[in-house]
Amino acid sequence: MHIDLRSDTVTLPSKAMKLFMMEAPLGDDVFQEDPTINKLEAYAAKYFDKEAALFCASGTQTNQIAINVHCKPGDAVICSEDAHIYFYEGGGIAKNSGCSVQLLKGDRGRITAEAVAENIKDPTNPHYPLTRLVALEDTMNRGGGAIYDFNAIKEIRKVCDSNNLPLHLDGARVFNALIENKIQPHEYARPFDSISICLSKGLGAPVGSILLGNKDFIDRARRVRKVMGGGMRQAGIIAAGGLYAMQNNIDRLKEDHLHAKQLENELQQLTWIENVLPVQTNIIVAKVAAHKNVDKIIQKCAQKGLFFMPFGEQTFRMVTHLDITNKDINDCIHILKTIS
């Protein structure tokens, strides 16, 4: 038995996806001549009603390119203190773009328009960095897959407009949000100047993310991608996996969310669990009771074939995905009930 709930990044391409990839027509993408990448970029741009798109190797790369295009060295980026762009991208905001961050506390990582407005630095004061960008993350990884209220996003957009600031979305799991909030992608995308979407998480592609924006932004982003060593040649063979994923694997995300709710309900019944963050999408974050050791629990489960990750003090994370079946969930529940 091997049930891997460490992340939705562990998904493997299906036979149908691999066949689609092997049959993909190829060209040189640095010359913008790879027909499969061009098709994927056009498909994604149309899906979110943006002018253009850029295929990249990872979500970290798309996020860091976006920050680099929007900002200059010495500028400041407003984001949550739990934001992936700050917490999990290797200090890239400072290393790649020479920018500082203005970190905000929020509800499970979701910041508010009021907090954004309060933290925009006075541009006439030379002691402060210039605030140049506001970045949101939806769903919020460190918030246990929490979803932004769309009205809150629109209020943040108003603050950005009042201060002439672009708004970026780290949408690594934005499709999980869209399945739940039932907002049309083009409507959801409208408040954002740039959007990063990941193809290799819940959608199940092996590699790749896409950066979206207007044509001028994507033209500049393409140059930054080249500077960062991201120019790929016959990369349509991997882009095809992302195209297949967008065309076939979005609606089924609701199955992952149902599985996550099942696990939430069962975890709440266990005596060694103190609490579970309310599940909204495919991420389950649970806190272990004080008298238990979270690392030992993870180790015991791994010995039984169930794998998940520590996620801070006394806390662990599970993530459901398309390779997890109903049987896997039942087996997972059985294993958890054997832990004492």
Give me the residue label for tokens 């149902």.
Answer: 258
Express each pLDDT in 2-48 by its tens digit.
999 999 999 999 999 999 999 999 999 999 999 999 999 999 999 99
Buried residues in 44-73 as b, exposed as e (16+ CB within 10 A): bbebbebebbbbbbbbbbbbbbbbbbbbee
The model's confidence at residue 289, banded by pLDDT at 50, 70 and 90, is very high
Above 80 in pLDDT, residue 146? Answer: yes
Residue 283 forms beta bridges with which residues? 319
pLDDT band at 208 (very low <50, low <70, confident <90, very high): very high
What is the SS3 assignment for 112-140?
CHHHHHHCCCCCCCCCCCCEEEEEEECCE
Instruction: Measure the CA dihedral 144/258/298/328, to 10°.
Output: -160
Residue 114 has a CB neighbour count (10 Å cut-off) of: 11
Average pLDDT, the chain: 97
Which pLDDT score is estimated for 96?
97
Tell me the helix, strand and coil percentages in the chain, rounded to 5: 45, 20, 40
* pLDDT above 80 for 179: yes
> pTM for the full model?
0.96
Give the span between the Cα atoms of 318 and 3, in whole angstroms: 11
In one-letter notation, the amino acid at residue 208 is G
Can you list the domains of the chain with their CATH numbers?
13-248 (3.40.640.10), 252-338 (3.90.1150.10)
Q: Give the distance, in angstroms, between the CA of residue 153 and the centroid of all CA atoms in the same chain.
A: 16
pLDDT of 177 reads: 98
Residue 170, pLDDT score: 98
The answer on pLDDT for 340 being more than 80 is no
Q: pLDDT value at position 312?
A: 87
Over the stretch 62-74, which tens digit does the pLDDT of each residue have? Answer: 999 999 999 999 9
Q: At what angle do helices 326-338 and 253-267 cross, to 10 degrees?
A: 20
Query: ∠ CA 169-170-172 to the nearest 5 degrees?
Result: 135
Q: Looking at this protein, which amino acid is placed at residue 129?
A: P
Q: What is the pLDDT of residue 112?
A: 98
Token pair 């238990």 is found at: 292
> What are the tokens at 160?
């950005």
Bond preceding residue 60 cis, omega within 30 of 0: no
Q: With beta carbons less than 8 A apart as the criterion, state whether 182 and 210 touch.
A: no
8 A C-beta contact, residue 165 and residue 139: no
pLDDT in tens, 17-28: 999 999 999 999
Residue 1 has pLDDT above 90, yes or no: no
Give the pLDDT score at 176. Answer: 98
